[in-house]
Structure 1
Amino acid sequence: MLRLVCFILVFVCSIPRSGAADIPVDMELVLAIDCSSSVDDEEFALQVSGMANAFRDPMIQDAIQNGVEGAVGISIIQWSSERFQNVAVRWRLLTGPADADNLANEIEAMPRTIGTGATSIANALLFSANSFNGNGMEGYRRVIDMSADGENNQGLDIHIARAQVLARGITINGLAIRNEFPNLDMYFEDRVIGGERAFTEVAKDYEDYRNAIFRKLFRELRDVPVADGSGLDPSWKEALLMQQPEERLQTR
């Protein structure tokens, strides 16, 4: 009898167990940051601070928890050339202000892991798409938030990369930083973005990035129609307008 019991225990323990169910979220979002040679350290720092400030904004924090699930998944990738892509912040589950503040602190402390290279938007898109695999989350939407200050100039053909990503049901949104390319947003519209309700946000330069990343995140998290996004301002801007003129100069 004892042998039979031992045999049953061994058999039961040997049966493969299914993994834990993925956490339902409103959106899985990859933020892909341009770290190519056209981006100097000061411009990289502006991207980092702008993104961190956006996640601290009350409007963004409200948007995170106001979806069906009240949760989103976020990961951050740095990229440049065909073979230069790194996960800078692994997947994080955000369910409210505390999680968003923690992510903002992590972003602020994030080092630059890629310091040079060409601009391979295509390969960055594929790397970002692959990062959704096994992240432990299941979102109603999967979105890649692609920021860049130039056109694809190395690696896979951009049309092929976009088609492969879209075939997986992933939306590609763009943030075109028109620092050196005045018509970069048109390039994004034609060759980069795609998928359900895809859109391009524009930053006229790196100083304007903090406004653009706020608008972009808010529109993605709240799924605001494209026509309604242009007038959005972060909360800090309202506070700045309430200051006296001399205080504004010190804040800039």
Structure 2
Amino acid sequence: MWRPHRFRFLVGAALLLLAPLLPASAQERVDVALVLAVDVSRSMSPEELQIQRQGYAAAIASPEVVRAINLGEHRRIALMMFEWANESHAREIVPWSVIETQADAQAFADKVLEDTTYGQRRTSISGAIRYASKLLDEAPYVATRRVIDISGDGPNNQGSPVTLARDAAVDRGYVINGLPLMTKGGIGFQFNIPDLDVYYRRCVIGGPTSFVIPVIEWAQFPDAVRRKLILEIGGRMPYQPPRVMKAQITFEEPYDCLVGEKIWRRLREQYFWDP
């Protein structure tokens, strides 16, 4: 006679026997699997790219971030970083790493500083979100939450509409947070929009507890990244710090999430230029 409970017992026993044969990382539980997606489009100068890299390293290795990790249920997170620009450019800077201690965080930060970045053409936020989603799909950890942390200094201007990539990631259960870089200058000023923070809130971020922290001046960057990491590690926002914008249902006028694509087409027609 077929006995479902006996079958379930046998399957469970088999999994227990096979568990020691699995890679250790595949069984490791973390409070959050966090992907740092860093914009390296040509709209940023080499100096700005270096400031960005140093800011991420300083934030990751900060005692405040390590303290936030130690407050979690498992007291560890999984972290990785990649750079992105056009739809076909996504390059790993630091692979998946488990961060538990100050030494772990410093080792990750050192790898960030050891790497070298060269600016790339175009800006495909949608491509970055899809790549980050793939990384989270394949992450070898049991994570309570899975988060994409994406920075950028301009709107999407290549690839599929950013809202399609955002919605697909949110449907997978991922959270997307934004760090719009609203600094002045840079060679790609033609692609700047004055309300990039609103664009990120309306078009890029999504999922429970998602938020935006704009960076107005480069001097603010390390502190903005540090605050953002602490919030993401904690998975909640007990209060609203200055310049933090939460995702929310809104009755505002519809926002044009294709503004970047339209700017690029207009400039291309005007200058026959493919930046």
TM range (shorter): 0.7 to 0.9
Matches within 5 A, 1:109-128: 109-112=114-117, 114-128=118-132
Aligned partners of 1:218 and 1:224 also within 8 Å:
no
The one-letter amino acid paired with 1:194 is: G
Matches of 2:151 and 2:80, distance apart in 1: 14
Unmatched 5+ residue regions in structure 2? Answer: 1-17, 184-191, 245-275
Aligned partners of 2:214 and 2:243 also within 8 Å:
no
The one-letter amino acid paired with 2:101 is: G
Name 1:209's counterpart in structure 2: 221
Aligned partners of 1:128 and 1:144 also within 8 Å:
yes
1:43 and 2:48 aligned: yes
Name 1:145's counterpart in structure 2: 149
Task: Note the C-alpha offset of 1:209.
Answer: 1.4
Task: Note the C-alpha offset of 1:227.
Answer: 3.2
Within the candidate set 168, 193, 197, 2:209 is matched to 197
Same amino acid, percent of matched pairs: 31
The one-letter amino acid paired with 1:88 is: I
Name 2:256's counterpart in structure 1: none
The one-letter amino acid paired with 1:105 is: D
Matches within 5 A, 1:1-252: 19-20=22-23, 21-112=26-117, 114-179=118-183, 180-225=192-237, 227-230=239-242
Matches of 2:104 and 2:198, distance apart in 1: 35
Secondary structure of 1:142's partner?
strand
Aligned partners of 2:209 and 2:236 also within 8 Å:
no
Q: Deviations over 1:136-180 (max 9, x none)?
A: 211100000000000001101111111111111000000011124
- Give the TM-score taking structure 1 as reference length: 0.81
Matches of 1:119 and 1:177, distance apart in 2: 13
Task: Note the C-alpha offset of 1:56.
Answer: 2.1
Task: Flag the 1:226–1:115 CA change in 2: closer, same or farther, 3 A.
Answer: farther
The one-letter amino acid paired with 2:140 is: G
- Give the TM-score taking structure 2 as reference length: 0.74
Task: Note the C-alpha offset of 1:226.
Answer: 6.5
- Higher mean Cα deviation, 16-25 or 92-101? 16-25
Aligned residues: 217
Aligned partners of 1:174 and 1:200 also within 8 Å:
yes
Aligned partners of 2:33 and 2:143 also within 8 Å:
yes
Task: Note the C-alpha offset of 1:207.
Answer: 3.0
Secondary structure of 2:122's partner?
coil
Task: Note the C-alpha offset of 1:231.
Answer: 8.9
Aligned partners of 1:219 and 1:225 also within 8 Å:
yes
The one-letter amino acid paired with 2:22 is: G
Task: Note the C-alpha offset of 1:181.
Answer: 3.2
User: Any runs of at least 4 consecutive aligned residues in structure 1 with deviations exceeding 4 A, and if so which?
Assistant: none
| Aligned-CA RMSD value | 2.0
